[in-house]
Structure 1
Amino acid sequence: MEKGLRTGVKFKTRQLTVIGMLSAISIILGVTGLGFIPIPPVKATILHVPVIIGAILEGPVVGAMVGLIFGIFSMVQAITTPTPVSFIFMNPLVAVVPRVLIALTAYYTYRIVRTNVKSLNIAVAAAVGSLTNTIGVLGMIYAIYLEPYAKVLHLSVSGAKKGIIAVGATNGIPEAILSVIITAAVITAVSKIRRR
């Protein structure tokens, strides 16, 4: 077993491998643009799916580590490839905290929801994890950056409020559906491999 630096958290080699692999997948999806799937009229992201998969397969700490790396990657992207709203994602409260929370909500939902259909348990956990990302990020933007967000997009504050809610609805639902499909497929496949 390897010991986490200064945390006292011990990781098995398999867990470290999972953290590295899923973090790499999330980063590759972001860098290449493959993590954004066009579902007209929106582009749904699946960058958070590796966090959900890590949490369900290996527990909340592993999932949270993948979420932390995903969040840091978001901050780095905001700095290196800026857009008019990149300043928002330079704040760890927006870029990192919701991504860590994805792991916690997905894992504990999976532990609490106990039906006889494993794929249903996975689906509910994946949907909750995905919605945590959507609500967490947009909620932080609303709470911290509403006025600057409105100003940079040349909107009124009320227009920005409506815009954030609209993005939550139009992106949040397709992203949750994609998360459910991908997570259920991957975890089912991994479970079969592990049983061999």
Structure 2
Amino acid sequence: MTQSKKTSKASDIAILSIFIAIMIVVHLLSKIVYTFWPFPIQPTLLHVPVIIGSIVLGWRKGAFLGFVMGLISMLNSTIAPIPTSFLFSPFAPNGNGWSLFVAFVPRILVGILPFFIYKLAKNRFGAGLAGFLGSATNTVLVLESAFLLFNNQLNMTFKALIATIIATNSIAEAIAAAILTAAIVPILLKLKKS
């Protein structure tokens, strides 16, 4: 292996580590902030570093970041369970092997799709669109998977599923992801080129 390839690989690992650290900090800060948050909407921002990482680092590294997001979700649902933790952890009461599917597959796709969406329009609008659709991918796939795989526990109609997608934090999350991605991606891409 040449010196430049070793340097590039070390740089990639360092950048991935920074993104993972950002995800952990965002997760922990969200937990703290939402303890005192007076509003019913509690948007998650954990998927934003995954989306940005996908665009800036490529879909393979984005998929890895999505895997890390799924791992954070599974660990959180295992260590600090809430009534819906069974959706994300096979170790939570009523959880099973399908919990791993719900925790990981949608999040891995959140790390893949934004890269290809951004390729359609490589500008600030494309970044915002990738952020919006990446966030929507997370929401729709997690809720759809929960509906299909755990409907016995959830006892939800398809109409209730659609209402949940629209009424929950999903719109606020998608708008926040679009704004943050459109603001941050051009800066990171410029830094990457220099």
Tell whether the structures are fold-level matches, with TM greater than 0.5. yes
What is the total number of aligned residue pairs between the two structures? 177
3-state DSSP of counterpart to 2:182? helix
C-alpha separation between the residues in 1 aligned to 2:190 and 2:118? Answer: 18
Q: Which residue of 2 aligns with 1:29?
A: 26
Residues 21/128 of structure 1: CA separation in 2 closer, same or farther (3 Å cut): same
Instruction: Tell me whether 1:191 sits opposite 2:169 in the alignment.
Output: no
If each structure's strand is expressed as a fraction of its own residues, which one has the higher value?
Answer: 1
Q: Which residue of 1 aligns with 2:92?
A: none
8 Å CA contact 1:18, 1:54 repeated in 2: no
Q: Which residue of 2 aligns with 1:97?
A: 105
Q: Which residue of 2 aligns with 1:126?
A: 131
C-alpha separation between the residues in 1 aligned to 2:32 and 2:114? Answer: 19
C-alpha separation between the residues in 2 aligned to 1:31 and 1:60? Answer: 25
Report matched runs for 1:160-171 at 5 Å.
161-170=158-167, 171=169
Q: Which residue of 2 aligns with 1:108?
A: 116
Give the number of the structure with larger relative contact order, counting CA–CA contacts within 8 Å between residues 6 or more apart.
2
Q: Which residue of 2 aligns with 1:6?
A: none
Q: Which residue of 1 aligns with 2:66?
A: 67
Match of 1:176 among 164, 167, 174: 174
C-alpha separation between the residues in 1 aligned to 2:159 and 2:39? Answer: 20
C-alpha separation between the residues in 2 aligned to 1:130 and 1:17? Answer: 25
C-alpha separation between the residues in 2 aligned to 1:126 and 1:29? Answer: 17
Which residue identity is paired with 2:174? Answer: A
3-state DSSP of counterpart to 2:43? strand
3-state DSSP of counterpart to 1:42? coil
Superposed CA offset, 1:71-100 (max 9, x none): 011101111001111111111111111000
Percent identity of equivalent pairs: 32
C-alpha separation between the residues in 1 aligned to 2:72 and 2:104? Answer: 9
Residues 45/163 of structure 1: CA separation in 2 closer, same or farther (3 Å cut): farther
RMSD: 2.4
Q: Using the TM superposition, give the Cα deviation of residue 114 of structure 1 relative to its aligned residue in structure 2, in angstroms.
A: 2.8
8 Å CA contact 1:126, 1:180 repeated in 2: yes
Which residue identity is paired with 1:177? Answer: I
Superposed CA offset, 1:25-46 (max 9, x none): 1122112326977695411111
Superposed CA offset, 1:90-122 (max 9, x none): 1111111100001211111111x236xx10111
8 Å CA contact 2:30, 2:44 repeated in 1: no
Range that drifts further, 92-101 or 186-195: 186-195
C-alpha separation between the residues in 2 aligned to 1:190 and 1:21? Answer: 13
Q: Which runs of 5+ in 2 are unaligned?
A: 2-7, 90-98
Q: Using the TM superposition, give the Cα deviation of residue 70 of structure 1 relative to its aligned residue in structure 2, in angstroms.
A: 0.9
Q: Using the TM superposition, give the Cα deviation of residue 162 of structure 1 relative to its aligned residue in structure 2, in angstroms.
A: 4.4
Q: Using the TM superposition, give the Cα deviation of residue 149 of structure 1 relative to its aligned residue in structure 2, in angstroms.
A: 2.1
C-alpha separation between the residues in 2 aligned to 1:105 and 1:72? Answer: 19
